[in-house]
Structure 1
Amino acid sequence: MAGTRSKLDEIVASFAMLEDPRSHINRRHPLPSVLVIAVLAVLAGAAGPTAIARWAKLKEGLLMDLLDLPRGIPGKDVLRRILMTLKPAAFEAAFNAWIARLRDEAIATTGVDRPVVAIDGKTARRSRDAKEGLGPLHIVTAWAGEYGLALGQEVCGEKSNEITAIPELLRRIDVRGGVVTIDAMGAQKVIAEEVVRGKADYVLALKGNHEALHRAVIEHIDEQLEGDLKGAEELTTSERGHGREEHRTYLHLPAPAALPGRAEWKGLRSVGVVTSRRVKGGEESIEIRYYLISLPVDAEQFARAVRGHWSVENACHWSLDVTFREDDSRVRQRVLGANITWLYRFTLSLLKQHPDRRQSLAMKRRGCGWSDTFLMEVIAALTC
C-alpha cells in the first residue's frame, strides 16, 4: 500500500489548508484524514455521517495503513460535527486543485477545449424541515457534461433563489473558454456580466420573464424569416429512438442593434431560436425556444450548447437521484446538507472519470464498496 499512500498524500495536502472548525480540546483526529475518509466512504456508497463512520470502522485496516489516524477511526459524532461546522465554500474550494487536474485530463481525452458548462438547480425534496420552517435544500450546480465534471455548487438561501445563487457560483468557479448555458430564470444581466467577466460565453434561454425583450426577439426573427436571413445560419437535426422521432431546426443570427436594452447585456452578439417537432405514438407536438447569445453566429456551436445543456439533467441530476438517492436525503441541517451534496457531486465526477464504460455508475459505486483495489483505481484518477 506504500504507493497508494504516496498518492493519497497529495489529497491530504489539499485539505491541510482548511481551517479546522473544532476547538483545540476536541481535535483527536486530524481534519484532512477525516475528510479523506468521507470522500472514500461516499464513493463506496455511504450517504451521511453514520454510514461514513460504519464504513470506516469496517475498513479500519485499510484506513490505518493509508492515513494519519493516531487515535484510530473517528466515530459518527466526529464526522457529523465536522461536516456540520465546516464552511461549505471552503470545503468546496479545497477540491479546486483536484477538479483542475481532472479537467486537464478530460481535455486531453476528449479533445474538447471549449466545454458547455450547464448551470441548473435541483431540490433535495425530503430535506424540508417544517418544524424549523425550512423548505427543502435547493442546490445550483455547474456541470461540464462533456467532461463528466461538477465544477461547483451553490446552495440557495431560504429567502433567495437561483438568480442570486448563480452569480455567486460563477465568481468561484473556472469557466474560462467555456460556453455557459442557463435556463430562462438565469437570463439576467448581472449573470451575463459574470459569465463574460469569467472569460466565457453564454447561451441564455429567453422567455416571458423579459416580456419586452422576448417579444422583440420573436418579432426580429419573424421579420428575418420573411427576408433573406442575411448573416444567419441554420442547422437541422433528426433523432429516432424510444418510440419517438424528433426534428430540430436551429436558427442563429446576429442580434439587431435596435434590440431593446441590448447595451445592458454584456457581450450580447447574437440571438437564436430552436424549433422542435416531436412525434410519439402518432401524436405531434411542437416547441419553440429563444435564446440570447454572446457567441458569433455559428449554428453548430449554438446547437451543441443547447443540446449540451440537458446533460445537467440527464447525466448529473438523474445520476444523483438514481445512484446516490439524493432526492431521498433527510438531512435537514443546512451546512451538513451542503457538504454532503458536494461530496455526492464530486464523487459522481470521479466515477465518471473511470475509463471502463461497460459498467454503470451504480455498479462502479458498488465496486468501490466491494473492492479496495477498485476504490483505489477510482481515486487514482485524481493523482495519476
Structure 2
Amino acid sequence: MSPTSDSLVAAFRQLTDPRHRRGVRHPFAGLLSVVFLGLLSRHPDFASLARWAKRHWPALREAFGLTRPYAPHATTYSRAAAAFSIDEFRGALAGWLARVMADAPTAAAVDGKTSKQAHDADGDPIHVLNVFAHDARVCLADWPIGDGKETEPEVLKAHLDELFAAWPSLRVLTGDALFCQRPLARAIVEAGRDYVLAVKDNQPDLHETIRAAFADATPASASATARGKNAGRSRPGGSGATRRRRTTPARR
C-alpha cells in the first residue's frame, strides 16, 4: 500500500534527508514516521521504540513504505532523528494538519507546560509554550521557553506572526492571568485577532477597573461600543480606537 498524497508520510517526504547516501537502507520519511508514531504510543526512548517497532514491523512496513524485511536497530532511529531539521518538521506537520482537518480551528488556548519526555543538554525537562485547539484536540504549535530569561507572554508575542501565518483561521486566543499584559494584548489586536484573558487579584488596579466598567454595562451599551469599533475599522486608516486630543487653554 503506497502512502497517499495527503498522508503524514507524504508530508515527511518534504524534509531534507540528513543522512549520507552510503549505507542508507530505509527511507527517511518512513523512519521518521515510525519514530513519530512510537512517541505517540508512549515510547520515550529509542530502545523501547525499536522493540515496539519490531513487534509491529509488518504493519508499519506496509503503512510507511518501508522495504526491508527486518526492523532497524535503535541506533538507526536515533541517528536519523538527531540530524533532521526541526523547522522543516514543524512546517511539514502544520501543513499536513491544515490539509486533513475537517474544520479549521478558530480558537486556541495558550499555556506553558513542562515536557515529561523531552530534556535539554543538561538532562532537565524542557518547558514549552503550547497553543492547543480544544475542539480539534490538537496542539497547533509549541515553542521552548528557555532557561528563565524569557517569559511565556514574551515568547507568544515573538511568535504571533508565525502562528497566524500557519493558522490563518485562528480568530481568538485564550490564556490565564499570566498572559494579561498590555503589549501582548495590543499585538493580538493589531494582528486583527481577539483575546480572552483572565484577570485576577494579582493585578488589583486592572481588576477593579474592569469590575467598574462592567458594573454599568448593558446589552445596549455593548452594541453601541461594537458599532463604534466597526465604524472605525471601515474608515481609511481607522483602527477602531478613538483618538483623544489633549488641548490646553490659550495663553493671554
Cα pair 1:119 1:140 within 8 Å, conserved? yes
Identical-pair percentage: 27
Greater RCO, 1 or 2 (C-alpha within 8 Å, sep 6+): 1
Cα pair 1:176 1:199 within 8 Å, conserved? no
The 1:233/1:49 distance shift into structure 2, 3 A limit, reads: farther
Aligned partner of 1:118 in structure 2 is 109
Q: 1:172 aligns with which of 162, 167, 176?
A: 162
Aligned partner of 1:87 in structure 2 is 85
Render the CA deviation track for 1:246-302: whole Å, top value 9, x for unaligned.
xxxxxx9969xxxxxxxxxxx798xxxxxxxxxxxxxxxxxxxxxxxxxxxxxxxxx
Cα pair 2:6 2:96 within 8 Å, conserved? no
How far 1:46 moved relative to its partner? 2.8
Aligned partner of 2:56 in structure 1 is 59
Aligned partner of 2:14 in structure 1 is 17
Give 1 or 2: higher strand fraction: 1
For 1:163 and 1:224, the matched residues in 2 are separated by 26
1:184 and 2:172 are equivalent in the alignment: no
Cα pair 2:3 2:65 within 8 Å, conserved? no
For 2:170 and 2:155, the matched residues in 1 are separated by 22
For 2:61 and 2:118, the matched residues in 1 are separated by 34
Aligned partner of 1:163 in structure 2 is 153
Q: 2:141 aligns with which of 152, 156, 171?
A: 152
How far 1:31 moved relative to its partner? 1.3
Q: 1:218 aligns with which of 208, 215, 224?
A: 208
For 1:253 and 1:184, the matched residues in 2 are separated by 28
Question: Greater CA deviation, 89-98 or 115-124?
Answer: 89-98
Structure 2 unaligned blocks of 5 or more: 227-238, 242-252
1:96 and 2:89 are equivalent in the alignment: no
Larger Rg: 2
How far 1:38 moved relative to its partner? 2.0
How far 1:34 moved relative to its partner? 0.7
Aligned residues: 224
Q: 2:188 aligns with which of 181, 189, 195?
A: 195
Structure 1 unaligned blocks of 5 or more: 108-113, 235-251, 256-266, 270-384
The 1:186/1:73 distance shift into structure 2, 3 A limit, reads: same
For 1:196 and 1:172, the matched residues in 2 are separated by 15
For 1:184 and 1:166, the matched residues in 2 are separated by 14
Query: What's the TM-score, normalizing by structure 2?
Result: 0.70
For 2:79 and 2:51, the matched residues in 1 are separated by 16
Give 1 or 2: higher helix fraction: 1
For 1:141 and 1:40, the matched residues in 2 are separated by 20
1:229 and 2:217 are equivalent in the alignment: yes
How far 1:47 moved relative to its partner? 2.9
For 1:29 and 1:157, the matched residues in 2 are separated by 35
Q: 2:131 aligns with which of 142, 160, 179?
A: 142
Cα pair 1:117 1:144 within 8 Å, conserved? yes
Whichever residue aligns with residue 176 of structure 2, its letter is D
For 2:210 and 2:143, the matched residues in 1 are separated by 36
The 1:136/1:11 distance shift into structure 2, 3 A limit, reads: closer
For 1:35 and 1:12, the matched residues in 2 are separated by 8
Whichever residue aligns with residue 169 of structure 2, its letter is R
1:75 and 2:73 are equivalent in the alignment: yes
For 1:133 and 1:63, the matched residues in 2 are separated by 33
RMSD: 3.6
The 1:207/1:21 distance shift into structure 2, 3 A limit, reads: farther
The 1:135/1:254 distance shift into structure 2, 3 A limit, reads: farther
The 1:192/1:219 distance shift into structure 2, 3 A limit, reads: closer
For 1:24 and 1:144, the matched residues in 2 are separated by 40
Render the CA deviation track for 1:81-122: whole Å, top value 9, x for unaligned.
23233333321211123211343x146xxxxxx733101011
For 1:69 and 1:125, the matched residues in 2 are separated by 30
